[in-house]
Structure 1
Amino acid sequence: MTTPAIREPCADQDLLLHGLLDGELDASNTLRAEAHLRECRACAAFYERLKAGRQRRTSGVRHRASDALRERVRAALAAEVASGAEPACAAIPSPPAEAVPVPARRRRMVERWPVALALAACLAMAAILPRVGDRAGSALPDELVSGHVRSLLASHLTDVTTSDQHGVKPWFSGKISFAPPVVDLSERGFALVGGRLDYLGGRVVAALVYKRREHVINLFIWPETPAQDGDRSVRMSREGYSLLRWTQAGLTFWAVSDLNPTELQEFEQDFADRVPS
């Protein structure tokens, strides 16, 4: 008779199944493991083998004391207490902590706690530092580039798509607390594509989108805040993108594009020339 081949469990389920058997999983992972067992015969068979092995190791180890022995022990303890003597069991020293056997799985978890705590601290710092950087102005250019790239990758270049400046400007009304200027620069080679709302530096901002050839220009606009935004004019690059910043008419403008710096500066000048002071 041929012995049926034993199928190995799924590689990503081995630890989960051991943890399920040991009762070490949280509710989410317990449900995940149990759902997998209902769908995967190999893992279900493996789990049954684990349980059978556990039962074989523990069967015959425990022996319940007889009722007569239990009564004699209770009587002896009661007599010692009545006589004022310390019970003999109290004199048995507890084993030192290091002598208490710890399951290997639980020992590995304890050993990993310092690493997990250090990682949690790093993640907490990462969540705090960008907010501090916003106030110092050092993280804002990175956020601007991220917003520019995100708009290209997420197919969210515009919320309102039109080349008509009179169609884009009214769209922002009621959505933000200021009126961003929208100008037509098509005769200068910068075609208006549309506009959208974005979120940068802890604030909702307006974003106008222009194109020159195949290059997209995101122009982010929000009310001027000199104490936070620093210098009135900035030119820099990040990760291959050019960034230009200027302030005008009580507003802050940031232009971001992979367009070469010279042409992006032309865009800045053409736009600024058409914005009322």
Structure 2
Amino acid sequence: MTCDESRLLLHAYLDDELDAAQSVDMERHVAACPACAAAQREHERLRKALTQPELYRRAPEALRRQWEAPPAVAATPRRRRPLALAAAAGFAGALLLSAPTWLWLARPGAAPAALVDEAISGHLRSLQPQHLMDVVSTDQHTVKPWFEGKLDFAPRVKELAGEGFPLAGGRLDAIGGRSVAALVYRRRMHAINLYQWPADGADTPQSIAQRHGYTVIDWRQGGMRFLAVSDLNEGELKQFALAFDNTAH
């Protein structure tokens, strides 16, 4: 195991998410590498510090009573409803004017806004503890076979460490009401979720959407649809997508 692999697997190791063989490799590497051992000790120290009871405070009684009190329901006079409707219409108009242009001007075949939102939501869910990966490995020959029998297609898994995007693992997920493969890549401290599933139609160029600080790149190639999601800047995520497209299996 290399230091780069150790850094990628450290959180999974501390959360006891690695299999027995990977755990043994990790323990052997940490025992022989002072730098990785120091990183592990620092992560363990932070995890322990965050569990200290003095970090938590009981809410004041006045605030607790407000939480527990039933919400007051105020009747709205009929005569004020036109004003409420006007305010709602004004808010909707402002939202249309302030919404990102990709939502309204997406090219034909680009991912609908709802699909983009779903991909971002899936990315955020994956960042919760123990949600990022079902299989943890930097080896495409470990990750790809893991999906066999779990999906009705064979996902494309590529190693991109040479381009600066090391493979970290994968998991099953759902996008657009169907099961998809989610590959997880790393770029420094950033995670990249690459969703993929079979799709009809011709190949399409990459379409870029940005929302809530996240970038989504959508494209079709060789009968597959891909959605790459990350909080990386647009340039680096485009670099990842191009590297994935141009690297042989």
1:97-152, CA deviations, whole angstroms, 9 ceiling, x for partnerless residues? Answer: xxxxxxxxxxx9xx9xxxxxxxxxxxxxxxxxxxxxxxx82300000000000000
State how far apart, in whole Å, the 1-side matches of 2:155 and 2:121 are. 21
State how far apart, in whole Å, the 2-side matches of 1:14 and 1:272 are. 57
Does structure 2 retain, via aligned residues, the 8 Å contact 1:191–1:210?
yes
* Larger Rg computed on CA atoms: 1
State how far apart, in whole Å, the 1-side matches of 2:242 and 2:206 are. 12
State how far apart, in whole Å, the 1-side matches of 2:218 and 2:157 are. 17
Matching residue's letter, 2:230: S
Segments of structure 1 that go 5 or more residues without pairing to the other structure are 1-9, 16-107, 112-135
| TM value normalised by structure 2 | 0.55
| Runs of 4 or more above 4 Å deviation | 10-15
- Please report how far the alpha carbon of residue 265 of structure 1 lies from its aligned counterpart in structure 2 after TM superposition: 0.5
Partner of 1:268: 241
Does structure 2 retain, via aligned residues, the 8 Å contact 1:181–1:275?
no
User: Is 1:250 aligned to residue 218 of structure 2?
Assistant: no
Does structure 1 retain, via aligned residues, the 8 Å contact 2:181–2:196?
yes
Give 1:222's match in structure 2, choosing from 197, 216, 228: 197
State how far apart, in whole Å, the 1-side matches of 2:222 and 2:215 are. 23
Q: How does 1:52-67 map to 2 (within 5 A)?
A: none
Give 1:199's match in structure 2, choosing from 165, 169, 174: 174
1:217-247, CA deviations, whole angstroms, 9 ceiling, x for partnerless residues? Answer: 00000001349xx965311111100111111
State how far apart, in whole Å, the 1-side matches of 2:135 and 2:172 are. 10
State how far apart, in whole Å, the 2-side matches of 1:243 and 1:176 are. 23
Structure richer in helix, relative to its length: 1
Partner of 2:208: 235
User: Is 1:165 aligned to residue 140 of structure 2?
Assistant: yes
Secondary structure in structure 2 of the residue aligned to 1:153:
coil
Partner of 1:66: none
Matching residue's letter, 1:157: L
User: Is 1:179 aligned to residue 159 of structure 2?
Assistant: no
State how far apart, in whole Å, the 2-side matches of 1:206 and 1:233 are. 19
Partner of 1:46: none
Secondary structure in structure 2 of the residue aligned to 1:139:
helix
- Please report how far the alpha carbon of residue 182 of structure 1 lies from its aligned counterpart in structure 2 after TM superposition: 0.7
Does structure 2 retain, via aligned residues, the 8 Å contact 1:241–1:257?
yes
State how far apart, in whole Å, the 2-side matches of 1:223 and 1:217 are. 20
Segments of structure 2 that go 5 or more residues without pairing to the other structure are 1-64, 76-110
Partner of 1:140: 115
Over aligned residue pairs, what C-alpha RMSD do you find?
3.4
Matching residue's letter, 1:240: G
Matching residue's letter, 2:178: R
